Amino acid sequence: MVFTTVISSFVQLSLALVIPVAWWAVTTRRRVEFATWIGLVVPEWKAARQRLVLALMVWAAVAVLSVALLSSAAGGTASSRFAGSGIYGAIAVLFYAFIQTGLSEEILFRGFLGKKLSEKFGFRVGNTVQAVVFGLVHVVLLSSAFTLFPLIGVGVLTAVSGWIMGWVNEEAAGGSILPSWMMHSLANLLVGWGAVFGFLA
């Protein structure tokens, strides 16, 4: 399980990098390094502490609601394959959470899509569109695991989470995607380990 998860994690990361790397190579390669362009840089915190704390609290509440909803999917989510898999499953979840989902999706949605749309249409529009797309992708991926209304809930909660993570990156952390990578990965780690150890069953 660990080996296959490691392989699938880096395959998904490679796929997520295809469009951003191609775009960067054609448009920006000679002016800025890819890591800087995509937001893989140390955060430069600039938001008021109260606003940042409030945003993180709302995001945490959304994450808890999302975990509760996902736990009702009766084996239909991606993390359910780790159910009851013990220590090897727990190790595999680390790669799943931090590479396969966390890093891959943050590069694609907040690092590439959100930044490019924000450059073109402004932060409010760009961040909202990337969040909606983020939510819709999760609706499609989880469509077989939920009935209509819970599925809508998944889409809304995921979009709200994506919007907050985009705000934290761009408005609070100076454009770094490291905060949302950690937030996203830790949420998926909780869900994955919940499947491994059975406390979300």
Interatomic CA distance for residues 128 and 123, integer angstroms? 8
Res 73: pLDDT: 64
Structure tokens at 165: 């993570």
Res 155: pLDDT: 96
- Taking Cα atoms as reference points, which of 181, 8, 157 lies closest to residue 105? 181
Number of helical H runs and strand E runs in the chain: 9, 0
Regions of the chain with pLDDT less than 50:
none
Q: How many domains does the chain have?
A: 1
From the number of C-beta atoms within 10 Å of its C-beta (0-12, 13-18, 19+), residue 88 rates as middle
Can you give the residue range of the structural domain that contains 164? Answer: 2-197
With beta carbons less than 8 A apart as the criterion, state whether 9 and 93 touch.
Answer: no
Res 183: pLDDT: 97
With beta carbons less than 8 A apart as the criterion, state whether 38 and 173 touch.
Answer: no
With beta carbons less than 8 A apart as the criterion, state whether 141 and 134 touch.
Answer: no
Res 201: pLDDT: 54
Res 78: pLDDT: 66
pTM exceeds 0.75 for this model:
yes
Res 76: pLDDT: 60
Mean pLDDT over the full length of the chain: 92
On the CB side of 40, how many CA atoms lie within 13 Å of its CA? 14
User: Which tens digits make up the pLDDT trace of 146-171?
Assistant: 888 999 999 999 999 999 999 999 99
Q: Residue for token digits 């924000």? A: 118
Structure tokens at 159: 């979009």
Res 96: pLDDT: 96
